[in-house]
Amino acid sequence: MAAPMERVIKQQTERSTFKTTSFQKKTRSKLLSIPGTRPSVQNGQLLVSSGVTSLDFLLGGGLAVGTVLLIEEDRYDSYSRVILKYFLAEGVVCRHRLFVAAAQENPDDILQELPAPILDDVAIPKPVEQPRLPCESQESLDSMKIAWRYQNLPKVQTALVSSSRFGHYYDVSKTMEPEIRQAAKSHCFYLPDHPQKTSNTHSQFLGPYSALLKSLQEVIRQEGFEVAASMSNSQNPNVLRIGLHSLGSALWGDDLCCSDSPEHRHSLVTFLYGLRALLRSSLAVAVITLPSHLIQDRALMGNITRLSDYSIALESFKGSERETNPLYRDYHGLLHVRQVPHLNCLASQLPDHKDLAFKLKRKQFSIERLHLPADLSETVSRVSRGELPGANAVASACGSATSGNKHLDF
């Protein structure tokens, strides 16, 4: 069959040009090519991986450079910490620079606990094939003898950009080897090392966060992460990954979580405004975790969400009665996507489903749509008709309102 064969050949040549040009929209500014980043297919923006591939998929391909991801912590700060560590580990593997700030513990301790990357998993890019003449070589490789109807379908491609892969997998049960970790340069900010200067009247409004913002600006300036500086130097541009742990908690000197009408009501939002100003003009991405369950004021939470770009909330089942509920036995918690920004375009791409749940497996942090486990018991009715967020198909039409162990009753 001549026609399908030609289509396959055309796909082959297109795919080979795909690898060399690394598909980008035509923009006036030249797109920087930094290892570990790729341009978004929607609007040509530069994206970095957050370390969790399913989260990348939810957020539209990855985190755009110059934005802030806000993670509302779960109650015991277990899974939000895991995501922060994935983010930093991804930075180490992609040779990005790191900046970690924490008030509760030394940032070095966080950096010691990064998960180990699964490196033998990285696919080796196939050598680019020259487009061959449509003759017997193609036939021998690509023609299918039995399932020839499927010949026209595109082959599954693990798309790679230049040298490194976008998005890696990590093994949470092992920690990263020190040799790998030291390959990436990191800056640490431990709050007790920076006592608050009271003489500075300009930054009184930032309160406890003024030292942090100043330190961030210094790092960005000195290491050359500003976009203007990176474009003019032709040295290798790089991305700075900023991880800020538990902002807004009392350990930062902020009383947002402590009282109903806090004195430092505007410190955190002013800091987020300044952070957005810094990031929009530099090649950096920030991930902030925030104990939102301690903040009573919903309007304040709304302001904080609006001043960050991406915002997700984690709700783990640990310690709640849902932990033992058999409906949730496959998952560790629920994930809510609160906000996805629309940068350089008019419309944002919110995920289609609102009912997402996550599970931390050894080699993967998976986020999927919440679905009920298979009901393999003898009885028809479910064990408990508890509250389920967003799941539509729980109550069967003919079932009664009360849960029971009765067999089929009409």
Partner 1 sequence: MYTELNSILNTSPESFTKGDFILLSDKQSDASFLIHHFLSFYLRAKCKVCFLAMVQSFSHYSTVSQRLGVSLAQAKEKGQLVFLEGLQESLSILIPQDEHTGSQAMNFLRDPKLGLQDLYEFVSSKVKRSCGGEAESEEWGPPVLLVDDLSVLLTLGVTVGAVLDFSHYCQATICSKLQGNMVMLVRCDQEEDEGDNESPACLLKGLTHQSSLTLDVQGLPTGYCRDIHGQVEVCWQRRQGDGQNTQNKLFQYKVHDKGASFFARGTSSAVL
The residue ranges that bind partner 1 (CB under 8 A) are 43, 200, 202-203, 205-206, 210, 213-214, 217, 265-266, 269-270, 273-274, 276-278, 280-281, 298-299, 302-303, 306-307, 342-348, 350, 352, 354
Return the number of the residue (202 or 361) whose C-beta is nearest partner 1: 202
Report the nearest approach of partner 1 to the CB of residue 344 (Å): 4
Q: Determine the Cα–Cα distance for residues 228 and 248; give it in Å rounded to an integer.
A: 32
Q: Which two tokens stand for residue 9?
A: 């050949």
* Closest C-alpha among 114, 108, 47 to residue 81: 114
Report the nearest approach of partner 1 to the CB of residue 45 (Å): 10
Residues 6+ apart with CB under 8 A from 353: 369, 390
Return the number of the residue (128 or 394) whose C-beta is nearest partner 1: 394
Report the nearest approach of partner 1 to the CB of residue 227 (Å): 9
3-state secondary structure 127-184: CCCCCCCCCHHHHHHHCCCCCHHHHHCCCCCCCCECCECCCCCEEEEEECCHHHHCCC
* Closest C-alpha among 161, 142, 143 to residue 62: 161
Report the nearest approach of partner 1 to the CB of residue 266 (Å): 4
Residues 6+ apart with CB under 8 A from 152: 4, 7, 8
Report the nearest approach of partner 1 to the CB of residue 401 (Å): 24
* Closest C-alpha among 56, 37, 36 to residue 310: 56
Q: Determine the Cα–Cα distance for residues 49 and 91; give it in Å rounded to an integer.
A: 9
Report the nearest approach of partner 1 to the CB of residue 230 (Å): 15
Return the number of the residue (175 or 281) whose C-beta is nearest partner 1: 281
* Closest C-alpha among 385, 321, 313, 301 to residue 354: 313
Q: Kindly state the DSSP code that residue 302 receives in the 8-state scheme.
A: H
Report the nearest approach of partner 1 to the CB of residue 350 (Å): 8
Q: Determine the Cα–Cα distance for residues 260 and 270; give it in Å rounded to an integer.
A: 19
Return the number of the residue (103 or 213) whose C-beta is nearest partner 1: 213
Q: Determine the Cα–Cα distance for residues 107 and 318; give it in Å rounded to an integer.
A: 26
* Closest C-alpha among 368, 333, 367, 360 to residue 173: 360
Report the nearest approach of partner 1 to the CB of residue 280 (Å): 4
Q: Determine the Cα–Cα distance for residues 304 and 308; give it in Å rounded to an integer.
A: 7
Q: Do residues 105 and 345 lie in contact, with contact meaning Cβ atoms separated by under 8 Å?
A: no
Report the nearest approach of partner 1 to the CB of residue 51 (Å): 26
Return the number of the residue (294 or 350) whose C-beta is nearest partner 1: 350
Return the number of the residue (92 or 191) whose C-beta is nearest partner 1: 191
